[in-house]
Amino acid sequence: MKKILIIDDEVNVALLLSKFLTRNGFDVTTASTGSIGMEYLKNGDFNLVLCDFRLEDTDGREMLKNIKTQYPKTGVIIITGYSDIKMAVELIKMGAYDYITKPLYPDEILNTITKAIETHYALVEDKAVPASNDKSSRESKKQVFANEFVTGTSKVSKELTRQIELVAPTNYSVIILGESGTGKESVAKSIHLNSPRYNQPFIAMDCGSLTKELAASEFFGHEKGSFTGALYTKIGHFEMANGGTLFLDEVGNLSYEIQAALLRTVQERKVKRIGSTKEINLDVRIIIATNENLQDGIQKGKFREDLYHRFNEFSIFIPPLRERGNDIMLLADHFLKIANHELGRNVSSFSPEVVESFMSYRWQGNIREMKNVVRRATLLTEGTEITMKALPLEISNFKMPVFDYAPVAEMQEIRENRHDLKNAALEAEYETILKVLREVNFNKTRAAEILNIDRKTLYNKMKAINIK
Ligand SMILES: Nc1ncnc2c1ncn2[C@@H]1O[C@H](COP(=O)(O)OP(=O)(O)OP(=O)(O)O)[C@@H](O)[C@H]1O
Ligand SMILES: [Mg+2]
């Protein structure tokens, strides 16, 4: 169980937070002063400290300095009652993982904590990494991420790495496309960490869960009292990311109005908090991710074409896990190592049957699904080898469909001759058919219906383009 220490002299806040986090599976300790907090830290390996900025006996800056020097492996999130971007940046430079302002929103906190802890694991794993002061802490974050991120050796991975290296040093906006769980956010972070902005903030924002009412203030921030319920000044994500990178996940879900406001901000490179007249200059690189087809959204009038073109200065497609060949077991080994560490186990390998089923399974949830499967299997394994018994039924019972995709080499040939109109048409057809087949789990009757052709034509086409 992950251990969290809350240091806050407002007993009610600490209590509520503690209850909420305990319900969400954390082992929580609370302290009402900085010195009590430091006492607790001496005796326990805390993964994370949530520390209020204003304490009776000290302040967040001092606490952060002490914790980072004495317990470099423990993550620190500072909570404050008011927004001050300069201070936020300063604290982050000093090694705070993040900075949150009151009022505290449960989902936001949980999200931040989960992410912080994910980063933190790697810190625990890599004992050689010091995390003492600002610059070296940023360097170490970069190093930690490099250790966490499996680059892969398959052909598609090499291409992915090449594209990341190509676009990272520029200021281009990037669209990252890929099915759910393929690693879009990880690739965005990798771009950020390989860019000259790496020691500035990387702010991720999940647009999919934004309500219409909250979206504007999340993006642009608001001044205290600018609308009913705006009890505190709030810094928007653009401002938080200033100097660094703003990663927008699931942009396809944003309302048309907010898209217009986004376009304005991106074009003018300036932001105004709601209720304020002061314009703040922005230097933010934008990376967006989507697992929907934005072109479709444009056609249906749901997504603004001008905004799409602003974002689409460069695009990267992350292939689904099932198409990543050798990477599959590389990733599985990596997750096994992490799971062993987290769970205190000593599982060293996967049985040959497990390897075989990992290689042929469909992995609809991609890398995220695999990470969970390996973790669960490690937990269930008593000995040193993961066997079929430890896999969930959907994997151990999984049978390969009778047909599969065209051999890579053949598609490659079509791709290389893409200016030949016949090949271009063939490729488009291939992609569409494959996409629909996957969507319906290879049910040919359903696929034929969606494609608006009869089953026989579908069979013929599958044969012609070599989907066996
Ligand atoms: N190359 C990689 N090496 C190691 N772990 C990875 C890699 N890519 C992704 N992961 C892990 O897989 C999980 C899913 O990755 P991520 O959140 O980046 O995917 P996503 O495409 O943004 O997912 P979603 O579509 O659900 O938003 C995370 O736990 C991440 O740490
Ligand atoms: Mg994501």
Gap from CA of 202 to ligand 2 centroid (Å): 14
What are all long-range contacts of 451-458, with beta carbons under 8 Å and residues at least 24 apart? Answer: 458/433
The pick from 290, 368, 375 for probing ligand 1's pocket by mutation, whose C-beta has the most ligand atoms within 8 angstroms, reads: 368
Is residue 297 in contact with ligand 1, taking CB distance under 6 Å? no
Distances (CA, A) of 81 to 13, 60, 100, 107, 128: 11, 12, 9, 18, 36
Q: Which residues lie across from 49 on neighbouring strands?
A: 5, 76
Query: Of ligand 1's atoms, which has the minimum distance to the CA of residue 178?
Result: 21
Q: What is the DSSP letter of 274?
A: B
> Whose CA is closest to atom 9 on ligand 1?
183
| 256-265, 284-293, 355-364, 399-408: the lowest-pLDDT one | 399-408
Residue 227 φ then ψ, to 5°: -155, 165
Q: How far apart are CA 371 and CA 183, in angstroms?
A: 11
Q: Which residues lie across from 287 on neighbouring strands?
A: 174, 247
Ligand nearest to the CA of 183: 1
Q: SS3 for 152?
A: coil
Max Cα-Cα span within the chain: 78
Gap from CA of 72 to ligand 1 centroid (Å): 25
Task: State the architecture of 323-396 in CATH terms.
Answer: Orthogonal Bundle (1.10)
Confidence class of residue 285 from pLDDT cuts 50, 70 and 90? very high
Q: How far apart are CA 172 and CA 261, in angstroms?
A: 20
- pLDDT computed for residue 415 by the predictor: 52
> Whose CA is closest to atom 23 on ligand 1?
181
Nearest to 322 by CA among 427, 408, 416: 408
Residue 286 φ then ψ, to 5°: -110, 130
Q: How far apart are CA 411 and CA 415, in angstroms?
A: 6
Q: Taking residues 62-71, what's their average pLDDT? A: 90
The pick from 367, 371, 375 for probing ligand 1's pocket by mutation, whose C-beta has the most ligand atoms within 8 angstroms, reads: 367
* Homologous superfamily of 3-131: Response regulator (3.40.50.2300)
Specify which of 213-217, 386-390, 455-459 reaches the highest per-range mean pLDDT: 386-390
Q: Which two tokens stand for residue 359?
A: 């290689």
Distances (CA, A) of 150 to 111, 153, 231, 306: 23, 9, 43, 35
Residue 397 CB coordination number (10 Å): 10
Is residue 178 in contact with ligand 1, taking CB distance under 6 Å? yes
Residue 445 in this model has a pLDDT that exceeds 70: yes
Which position has the token pair 């497609």? 317
Residue 153 in this model has a pLDDT that exceeds 50: yes
* Homologous superfamily of 408-464: Homeodomain-like (1.10.10.60)
Which phi-psi region, left, alpha or beta, contains residue 178 (left: φ > 0; alpha: ψ -120 to 50)? left
- pLDDT computed for residue 322 by the predictor: 94
Is residue 183 in contact with ligand 1, taking CB distance under 6 Å? yes
Is residue 149 in contact with ligand 1, taking CB distance under 6 Å? yes
Percent of the chain surpassing pLDDT 90: 44
Is residue 368 in contact with ligand 1, taking CB distance under 6 Å? yes
Specify which of 108-122, 223-237, 327-341, 390-404 reaches the highest per-range mean pLDDT: 327-341
Gap from CA of 185 to ligand 2 centroid (Å): 5
**Residues 68-95: pLDDT tens digits?**
888 888 899 999 877 777 787 788 888 8
> What is the dihedral sign for C-alpha 40, 41, 42, 45?
positive
Q: How far apart are CA 314 and CA 162, in angstroms?
A: 13
Gap from CA of 184 to ligand 2 centroid (Å): 6
Q: Taking residues 207-231, what's their average pLDDT? A: 84
CATH of 149-317, one of 1.10.10.60, 1.10.3720.10, 2.60.40.10, 3.40.50.300: 3.40.50.300
Nearest to 163 by CA among 295, 313, 269: 313
- pLDDT computed for residue 316 by the predictor: 95
Mean pLDDT of the chain: 84
Whether the predicted model's global pTM rises above the 0.75 cut: no
Identical fold for domains 323-396 and 408-464, yes or no, is no
**Residues 257-280: pLDDT tens digits?**
999 999 999 999 999 999 999 999
CA 97 from centroid of its chain's CA atoms: 15
Gap from CA of 452 to ligand 2 centroid (Å): 32
- pLDDT computed for residue 332 by the predictor: 97
> Whose CA is closest to atom 5 on ligand 1?
149
Is residue 173 in contact with ligand 1, taking CB distance under 6 Å? no
- pLDDT computed for residue 464 by the predictor: 66
- Name the residue with higher pLDDT: 77 or 138: 77
Residue spans per domain, the chain: 3-131, 149-317, 323-396, 408-464
